[in-house]
Amino acid sequence: MDKLPELAFYLTKYGYYAIFLLVFIQELGIPNPITNELVLIFCGYLSYTGTLNFYKVIIVAISADFIGTTILFFIFYSFSKWLIEHSPKWLPLTGETIEKLKKKLLKRGNRSVFIGRLTPFLRGYVSVAAGMLHVKPKAFLGTVIISAITWSGGLVLLGRLIGPYWNQMIKERGVIENISIVIVLIVIITFVGKYFNRKQLQ
């Protein structure tokens, strides 16, 4: 967790621009050494300390989440036919997986998109799949704005709620151990989400 001091410096120096950029590029599918989960939780904590304004953080985080995943969706929406025909190696979805996702989306509709967007590490794939399967843009946009409020807004709120205990945890156990607890919780949620996702695709 040696990235935490660097993250703190970046966020306090560049503020809301940094939040938007970090969240936005990851929603576009561009690898980021610092996960959005950690960024948003830490931003919530910074809002508790007064370094950042809580409501501005919420607005910026939700906007970056929504705009990033919308662009990703429309990229694959526009080029889906070419991608399916050529099946490039970098595409994370095989033809078989696409068919399973298609059946799932046809059966469960927007609920599948919403649940997928709340599943860590699968969130981006859901936007890719929805674009390739030509989910109606109006339905997709309505669903992802709600998921952005729930996910990104929820993580910022979580960071703010644990704010009063942040310094105490640091004194008693240290930064690394306590941030590790948060990461472990996120990993647990991820594996649970993946398990149910596999069940639904079978």
pLDDT values of the chain reduced to their tens digit, one per residue, 202 residues: 456 667 777 888 888 999 999 999 989 888 777 788 888 988 998 999 999 999 999 999 999 999 999 999 998 888 777 666 655 555 555 556 666 666 666 566 677 788 878 877 677 778 888 887 888 888 899 999 999 998 999 889 988 988 887 766 656 555 545 555 555 555 555 555 555 445 544 4
User: Are 63 and 21 spatial neighbours (Cβ–Cβ below 8 Å)?
Assistant: no
Q: Name the region of 134 (left: φ>0; alpha: ψ -120 to 50; beta: rest).
A: left
pLDDT at residue 195 in the model: 52
| Per-domain residue ranges of the chain | 3-201
pLDDT at residue 176 in the model: 45
Q: Which of 62, 24, 191 is nearest to 183 (CA)?
A: 191
pLDDT at residue 128 in the model: 81
pLDDT at residue 87 in the model: 58
Q: Which of 121, 116, 120 is nearest to 133 (CA)?
A: 116
Q: Which of 28, 46, 27 is nearest to 167 (CA)?
A: 46
